[in-house]
Structure 1
Amino acid sequence: MANALLIIDMQTGLYNGPDKPFERERVLGTINQLIQRARSAHVPIFVAQHTGPTGSAIEAGSPLWQLWPDLQVDAARDHVFNKTRPSCFLGTDLAQQLAAAQVDELVIVGMKTQFCIDTTCRVAVELGFSVTLPEDGHTCMNTNALPAEAIIEHHNETLAGAFVKRVKAHSIAF
């Protein structure tokens, strides 16, 4: 049984930028389903917003920095926090918040697969958390080297076992 949901970087500038994430509507729907299931089970939801430096497109408070409006996060009830690195832990108090909430297992979803999802999964395990990665709950954009679908599958395969428990989102119980 997972005891916290961590949503990473589902922000307007990434979700709706010039390069659209792979299957973005499906992934958003999957994340929203997990939010509703976590809420029903009274499981805490943590939401990371990547914050760029002053003057960047995703500086704090800018339109592109905002969470995507269709993401069913409730800022009054969920734990929304800023990060400036690919890891949700570096330079934040996430580990302390999780410890205070007695969380030892995380379900990690969001964007971007090869950066913040990958890094946060690996660091979470190094910090002693168990991590569940819904293979259908994270996304990214195509790159010059690989299509997004291949990047996602590669990371699902690479992280599975050593770092995460790889599952389909519908099988996650909170």
Structure 2
Amino acid sequence: MQSRQPQRRALLIIDMQVGLFNGPDTPYDGAQVLANINELIGKARRTGAPVFAARHTGPQGSPIEPGSPLIQLLPDLAVDAMTDAVFDKNRPNCFLGTELADSLREASVDELVIVGMKTEYCIDATCRAAADLGFQPVLVADAHTSMDTPVLSARNIIDHHNRTLNGPFVRLVSTAECAF
């Protein structure tokens, strides 16, 4: 009987950038989500797990056009551009039009721990795409956020996505439970 290789995890931080986090709408529980993500970065680093950080860019002329100060990662985010992989994307799905899947495969990553914002856009799209691409997505329930909308509160959006994605698309864990 062949022994199963242990899963190798990587951390994917989505869109924790100046122009989205500090925009006109405040992210729900933003300070705690940022603290949780920084805790997860520390856990990943202590075990040598790769850390990837995606930045969303818009078209030329938009506030988040490539090179804009608004696409920069939050200064309080513990990402280190010298050791972590920082990449730009222009679609909600972090895999579409990027080298993320190839980079994960090159690093022998099986499981992808997903955190960041916005829950109903880039978090949702990336969780679903990761599963479709053969990765095992792990969504950290208390390390992703969104903003209130005219229809739903951010808390309801987050709760709904945690419940909907858990099982068919992701394994849901808390920051405290998450290990690398």
Shorter-chain TM-score bucket reads over 0.9
Matches within 5 A, 1:1-174: 3-174=9-180
Amino acid at match of 1:117: I
Aligned equivalents of 2:101, 2:24: Cα separation in 1: 33
Structure-1 residue corresponding to 2:4: none
CA displacement at 1:61 relative to structure 2 = 1.5
Structure-1 residue corresponding to 2:3: none
TM-score w.r.t. the length of structure 1 is 0.98
Instruction: Give the % identical residues.
Output: 59
Answer yes or no: is the 8 Å Cα contact 2:137–2:169 preserved in 1: yes
**Number of equivalences:** 174
- After superposition, the C-alpha distances for 1:58-99 in whole angstroms (9 at most, x for unaligned) are 111111111111000000100000100000000001000001
The structure with the larger Rg is 2
Could you list the runs of 5+ residues in structure 2 that have no partner in the other structure?
A: 1-6
TM-score w.r.t. the length of structure 2 is 0.95
Aligned equivalents of 1:85, 1:9: Cα separation in 2: 11
CA displacement at 1:2 relative to structure 2 = 5.4
- After superposition, the C-alpha distances for 1:2-28 in whole angstroms (9 at most, x for unaligned) are 510000000101111110100000000
